[in-house]
């Protein structure tokens, strides 16, 4: 079925709002959804001719049990801090919020605890994942701020942390996660259960049970 898809030029992912915002049409249309290029691309998907034997193919696809297609996979939210990529099990993720003001706690300067932050009208604790994992960043690395706040929750405790970029939630097949090689010893090695490849990059699979426990202990 896939081979019959029309070839589309997904300019919205490259130069549009999902990309680097350099498309000239943006000046006129402000957002890709207002642009005729985008809407006509969408139309094409609607109005293409169905491939031969599409009923057979569809039934076969539906008949295949879910386990086979998805295999043993874990949904993970992929994000980036500095140059490091990480995957955290999506069950711990509550929401991704836009970056905002964090108010520091006096007498707790310079620690893991960054302060308190307002998420949906409630004050939550903000921690520095950067410091926790010991990642070094140079100032001015970020050309375009895609900073987001990750709101995480485990065993009833909520934590908010700032990350440099959040990609979507992806299903990572378990088999594809390999244990961290002994030679690689980062400051955060003790928190990663393994390494997997995503989008051509090596990402660390953060161990969320261990992780939250230690977080809690470090703060109190």
Partner 1 sequence: MSGSFDSNLLGLFKEEVAELTLSLNKGLVSLEQSPSPTLLDSLMRAAHSIKGASRAMGLLESEKVAHEMEEILVKAQKGTLTINQKTIDILLHSTDLISHIAKAFGENFDPWLASNKSEIEDTVKKLFICHSPENVPAAHLGFTNPNDMAVIASNTQDQASLIRSQKELSPVFASLFLQELQSLSSLLEKESSNPQPDKARIDSILKSIYGAGTLVEFTEFTQAIELIRGHAVSMKDSQGLIFFTKFLMELSNQQPEKVQSFFNSKKQELKGLFQSHPPTITNNSQETINPQSSAILNQRKTTLNLDNPAKNVSNREGQQETKDSVVRVTAQSLTRLMGLAGESLVEARWLAPFSQSLLKLKREEDRLLDQMNELAQNQSEKNIKIQRDLIFDIRDKLAKCILELNSRVQEFENHARRSDDLNSRLYNEVITSRMRPFGDGAQSFPRMIRDLARDMGKKVCLEIIGESTPVDRDVLEKLDAPLNHLLRNAVDHGIEIPEKRQISGKPETGTIRLEVRHNSGMLSIFVADDGNGISMELLKNKICQRKLSTPEMISRMSDGEILDFLFLPGFSTRETVTEISGRGVGLDVVHNMITSVGGSVRIINKPKEGTTFQLQLPLTLSVIRAVLVEIAGEPYAFPHNRIERLLKLSRNEIHFLENRQYFQLDGENIGLLMANQVFRASGVLSEGDLFIVLFRNSNNNPFGIVVDCFRGEQDLVVRTLDARLGKVPNISSAAILDDGSPVLIVDVDDISRSIERIIEEDRVEQTNQIESNGVSAKKKILIVDDSITVREVEKQLLQSRGYDVTVAVDGADGWNALRENAFDLVVTDIDMPRMNGLEFTRNIKQDNRLAKMPVIIVSHKDREEDRFKGLEAGANHYLTKSSFHDDSLILAIEKLIGKP
List interacting residues with partner 1 (CB under 8 A): 28-30, 34, 100-113, 115-118, 121-125, 131-132, 134, 157, 187, 216, 219-220
- Give Cα 8 to chain centroid, integer Å: 25
Q: How far apart are CA 113 and CA 160, in angstroms?
A: 10
Beta bridge partners of 87: 78, 205
Q: Which residues contact 27 (CB under 8 A, 6 or more apart)?
A: none
HEC profile of 29-61: HCCHHHCHHHHHHHHHHHHCCCCCCHHHHHHHH
* Local structure of residue 111 (DSSP, 8 states): S
Q: Of 14 and 31, which CB lies nearer to partner 1 in the complex structure?
A: 31
Q: Of 106 and 200, which CB lies nearer to partner 1 in the complex structure?
A: 106
Give min distance, CB of 157 to partner 1, in A. Answer: 7
Give min distance, CB of 106 to partner 1, in A. Answer: 4
Give min distance, CB of 63 to partner 1, in A. Answer: 39
Give min distance, CB of 109 to partner 1, in A. Answer: 6
* Four-point Cα dihedral 33, 36, 41, 42, nearest 10: 50
Which of 162, 175, 170 is CA-nearest to residue 201?
170
Give min distance, CB of 113 to partner 1, in A. Answer: 8
Q: Of 77 and 127, which CB lies nearer to partner 1 in the complex structure?
A: 127
Q: Of 80 and 131, which CB lies nearer to partner 1 in the complex structure?
A: 131
Q: Of 72 and 136, which CB lies nearer to partner 1 in the complex structure?
A: 136
């Amino acid at each position: 079925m896939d081979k019959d898809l029309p070839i589309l030029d997904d300019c919205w992912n490259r130069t549009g709002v999902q990309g680097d915002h350099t498309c000239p049409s943006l000046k006129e249309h402000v957002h890709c959804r207002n642009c005729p290029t985008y809407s006509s691309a969408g139309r094409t998907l609607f109005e293409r001719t169905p491939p031969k034997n599409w009923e057979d193919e569809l039934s076969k696809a539906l008949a295949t049990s879910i386990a086979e297609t998805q295999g043993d996979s874990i949904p993970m939210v992929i994000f980036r801090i500095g140059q490091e990529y990480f995957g955290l099990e999506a069950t711990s993720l509550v929401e991704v919020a836009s970056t905002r003001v964090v108010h520091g706690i006096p007498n707790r300067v310079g620690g893991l605890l960054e302060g308190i932050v307002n998420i949906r009208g409630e004050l939550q604790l903000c921690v520095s994942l950067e410091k926790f994992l010991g990642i070094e960043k140079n100032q001015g690395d970020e050309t375009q701020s895609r900073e987001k706040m990750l709101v995480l929750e485990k065993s009833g405790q909520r934590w908010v942390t700032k990350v440099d970029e959040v990609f979507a939630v992806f299903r990572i097949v378990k088999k594809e996660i390999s244990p961290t090689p002994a030679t690689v010893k980062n400051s955060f090695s003790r928190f990663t259960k393994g390494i997997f490849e995503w989008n051509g990059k090596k990402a660390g699979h953060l161990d969320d049970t261990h992780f939250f426990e230690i977080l809690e202990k470090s703060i109190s």
